[in-house]
Structure 1
Amino acid sequence: MSPAKLLLLMASPRGFCAGVTRAIQGVVDALRHYGPPVYVRRPIVHNRSVVRMLEQQGAIFVEELDQVPEGAVVILSAHGVPQDVTAEMKRRDLRGFDAICPLVQKVHSGVARHHRAGRHIVLIGHGDHPEIVGTLGQLPHGAMSLVQSVDDVLALALHQRTPIAYAIQTTFSLDEARAIVDVIKACFSDVIGPNSSDICYATSNRQAAVKAIALRSDSVIVAGERFSSNALRLAEVARAAGCLRVQLIPDASHIDWSLIMGARTVGLSAAASTPEWSVTTIVDAMRARFEVSIEEFFDADETAVFRPLSIN
């Protein structure tokens, strides 16, 4: 009996964005230049296989800088850190490099500029995400209010005439952010936002592509980690687009085949922190069970390249 036919609809773009590529390459370059060990505060990006790959090359991942020996080489993750972390790095005379994504750095610069202009910052994002922790740590306590939903905006204890500037987590849901911004503008009379969207191009492109493939698919697979914000958002977008069988998995070993059963078209995307090798394992697993044809769905070309970390 011949295997069932299956169309695999591949979202493009998918996988690593320029900021992730820059951060990972920064660790690799530091290992080559200084030799192991190179210490990294927190996961450089939210992907276990990437962390394991760098560990095999000599990177040591720590939670806090007090775990780093004096004089050692240390790299800060792509998500950005509070100012007190960079201050500690300098105080302890660590040879430090900040792999913050330039788009996250843009958010930090924006909130600092608006704070200097006398505005209260409303930060849209998920409170437990390291990017949000880092952004909140750019200003004195009380200068910024975190909101995660429309209800959070409505509950803000701020006067209607308070000058407001809003900022958005770069991996937040596009649709949710629009709804929250609309309510901020309705609740306050003096509101300004960033000159261009805080939500990064890679997040926007991947959410748009996964929404498009979800509309055509019986089942959708998002390659990524459950602790990755941008991966979680992709799965949420696919479900919101109407696909009832969506799974978020790091690689082929985690496929729930019951969600593929009877499907004729399966959509496949990957979070901005997911390496292409994770996608390849899923495609290979599909080919082992089905007669697979592949269609690349191109939603946007990505040409962004960020300046490499200066490792010297």
Structure 2
Amino acid sequence: MTAVYAYGSSGYRRLFGVAYRILGSVHDAQDAVQEGIARWFALTEEQRERVREPDAWLTRVVARICLDELGSARARREHYTGIWLPEPLIGELAASAGAPERRDPADSVTLDERISIALLVAMEALTPGERVSLVLHDVFGLSFDEIAEVVGRSAASCRQLASTARRKVQARRKAQQVDPMDATDAAGTARDDVVAAFLNACVGGDLTSLVRLLDPGVVSRADGGDHVRAARKEVVGAETVARYLLGVVSTQTRRVTELVPRIEPVNGRLGIVTREGDRVVGVFDLEIVGGLITEIAILVNPEKLRDRIA
């Protein structure tokens, strides 16, 4: 088991994928996985031999740790300065959040390798039980009997929790005119071209070109925490967001003299990462539908960007 759950192994990546989707925090997810592995090794040899499927056992244990953590995490977020956004997965970190292919893609939300920050934000509206049930069933294919062991409710109740969660997320996405299955947003050349055009317009200070890339109802959210000044409320509307973004870029450029923005993998698809040397100072995650940017997540809180070195 030590080799199987070494950092970076497929077993570790699976557990991390469970924890990150539930908690939306890289560090909390890593802590949950380490705690789960520690509990495995705390069992006696005889107890471990009685576990027929160690992978399934560890998945349930880590999910339960995350479920317990969600309550205190939500309390902390209620007192968070400004807008709270999940920690981003940059470059190789994104590979640590992989999930297996779903056995049955029917009646499921797109929560696979495209763990967009916008989708994680939408999941913040779910109760802890709904979130855990949705992630474990729709992404990792656990049965509702297995999920019941984690949530502490009946299998039928967990089925209802997952169904309710699915409807909530889909309703939010529909209200924002986002199709979870939209091919442009998923990946590919069309999406990548929009990301590149977005970066060029921001760096070049081209307001007209930037506005053309934005959906009329585009929403921008920024997370600076207690450390970096950022908009404390959502910024909405193409021209308003465009002017705001150019202001953000101008401010960062003045504050950080050797700022280098690059297109890199962010949460399993291309986004924009700005660095000063090896230090990450900003991350932009874009939601793109029909060739237009519908949501922008800007992370500049250094506590959420620490240790992000490619």
**TM-score, normalised by the number of residues in structure 1:** 0.25
Between the two structures, name the one with larger relative contact order (CA 8 Å, sep ≥ 6).
Answer: 1
Larger radius of gyration: 1
Q: Which structure shows the higher strand fraction?
A: 1
